[in-house]
Amino acid sequence: MNKRILSSFLLITILALLITGCSSKQTNPDTAIDNSSDTEDSQEFNPSKDFDEILEEAKGSTVTFYGWGGDEYRNTWLKETVASTLKEKYDITLDVVGMDIDDILAKLSGEKQAGEEEGSIDMIWINGENFYSAKESDLLFGPFVEHLPNFDKYIDTDDEEVKNDFGFPIEGYEAPYSKAQMVLINDSAVTEETPSSSDEFMDYAKKHEGKVTYPALPDFTGSAFVRTLIYDIVGHEQFLDMEADKEVVKEAIEPALEYLRELNQYLWNQGKTFPATSGEVDNMFADGELVMTMSYGPYTVATEIDKGVYNDTTQTFLFDNGTVGNTNYMAIAKNSPNKAGAMVAINEIISAEIQATQFEELRSLPVVDYNKLDDEEKAKFDNVDIGQGVLPQDELLSKRLPEMPADIVPIVEEIWEEEVVGK
C-alpha cells in the first residue's frame, strides 16, 4: 500500500476528539462481536451463525471494498477476477472504491461521530500504523477470522505476521491479503554492482555520486528502505519490544543516523532534499537520472519490463542480512452494513484459487501456506511465470525481516526528518 501514512499518534488524537461526542458505550475487544439484545442495528452480525448461514445472508448483497486505488492491475484483478468469482459463486456484487487510507479512516470516524450504525464501508485494505490507529479507536469489527473456513484451511495461524501487524496484536480483526517485501533494483547493463550490505551501499553511492537517492519519509517505500538500513547497521531484534519513546528510539538508531548523514553527501542533490514519492524515484531511474531504485513489490521489475518501462537487463537484489517485509490485510468496518457479505468475500480472497490468480496476474506474494495446499493447488502456484529480473519466492522469504512496531515507525520518520535531511 504505497501511500503517505498519517502519523498514528496524530491520527489517534484526532479520532479521539471526534469520538468524544459519541455514545459512551464502548466495545471490549474481547467481546467485539456483540449480539446483545439492546442493539437497534437489525444488521448486527450474529456470532452463533455457521458459515452456511452467513453465505445465505450474504447472497444477493453488495459488498464495498475500500482501499488505495493507485494500482491499475490490482483494480482490474479485483473488478474482474475477484468480482466475477463472487458473483458466480455467491451472487455477491463487489463494489471496489479507490480511496487513500487516511481518507477512509476519516470517513469511518466521521460516521461514528454522527452515530451512523450502518455506514458506507464494508471491507478495508489496511495494515501497519493505520490498523493500529483504527483498532485503537474502535473503528473495526471483530474478531471475525475464526468464522472463515479458509483461514484455518490455508493460512499458517502460527505465523508471526498472521498474529501481529507491525508488532501490534491482530486478535482476529483482519485477515491477510498479500505480502510485500523491500527489494533494491538496478540495471545490470549500467551498474554491475549489487550492494549486499549498508557498507557496500555506501561504496556504491560514492562510486555513482549524485545518481542514488530514496523517497522522502514518510513515503511508504522510502520509510521501509531507511528501516532496512537501520536493521543492517544496528540489528532488528531490539525494536520488536522497544518502548515507543523518542529518546529511546533515537539512542538505538544513532549509528544509523550517522550513516545516513554521511550518505547524504553522495546522494542526488546531496541529501538536501529527497524526491517526494517512490513514483518520482522510479521515473528518475527509468529516465537514467538515477542508477537504482527500490520497491516494496518484490516482482515490480518483471511487471515494468513487461510494460517496456524498464530494460530487460534490470534486476532485483537484496542485502545479505535481509530486507523489511510485511503483510497487508483486509478488515471490516465496525459499522459495516453487510458484515456477512464482507466475511464471504474475505474468505474467498484467501482461498488457494484466488490467491493463485493474485500471484499470476499481479505477481504479488501469496499469503496461503504452501504446505497446506494439495497437489493440484500447489501446481497452480508452481506453474506461475514470475517473469524477468526477479528473485524466487523462497529466496525472498529466507531474507525477510519483521517490521518495527506500528508505534515506533512514525517516531523513526520524525527523527529522520529532524536529524538526516540536509545534514
How many structural domains comprise the chain? 2
Residue 40 counted as domain residue: no
Question: What are the respective helix, strand and coil percentages of the chain, to the nearest 5?
Answer: 45, 15, 40
164 and 244 both lie in a single domain: no
410 and 321 both lie in a single domain: yes
Residue 24 counted as domain residue: no
256 and 361 both lie in a single domain: no
Instruction: Tell me how far apart the alpha carbons of residues 69 and 189 are, in angstroms, rounded to a whole number.
Output: 33
415 and 289 both lie in a single domain: yes
pTM over the 0.85 mark: no
Q: 366, 358 in Cβ contact below 8 A?
A: yes
**What CATH number does the domain containing 351 carry?**
3.40.190.10
321 and 331 both lie in a single domain: no
What domain range includes position 149?
Answer: 8-16+50-178+327-390
189 and 312 both lie in a single domain: yes
pLDDT score for 21: 39
Q: Which amino acid is at 15?
A: L
Query: Which of 396, 180, 389, 187 has its CA nearest to residue 303?
Result: 389
Instruction: Tell me how far apart the alpha carbons of residues 291 and 185 are, in angstroms, rounded to a whole number.
Output: 9
Residue 188 counted as domain residue: yes
191 and 301 both lie in a single domain: yes
240 and 276 both lie in a single domain: yes
Query: Which of 73, 151, 7 has its CA nearest to residue 359?
Result: 73
147 and 245 both lie in a single domain: no
Q: First-to-last CA distance in the chain?
A: 29
294 and 369 both lie in a single domain: no
Residue 203 counted as domain residue: yes
237 and 300 both lie in a single domain: yes
pLDDT in tens, the chain (423 residues): 444 433 443 444 444 444 333 433 333 333 333 333 333 333 456 666 799 999 999 999 999 999 998 888 899 999 999 999 999 999 999 999 999 999 999 999 999 999 999 999 999 999 988 999 999 999 999 999 999 999 999 999 999 999 999 989 999 999 999 999 999 999 999 999 999 999 999 999 999 999 999 999 999 899 999 999 999 999 999 998 899 999 999 999 999 999 999 999 999 999 999 999 999 999 999 999 999 999 999 999 999 999 999 999 999 999 999 999 999 999 999 999 999 999 999 999 999 999 999 999 999 999 999 999 999 999 999 999 999 999 998 899 999 999 999 899 999 999 999 999 999
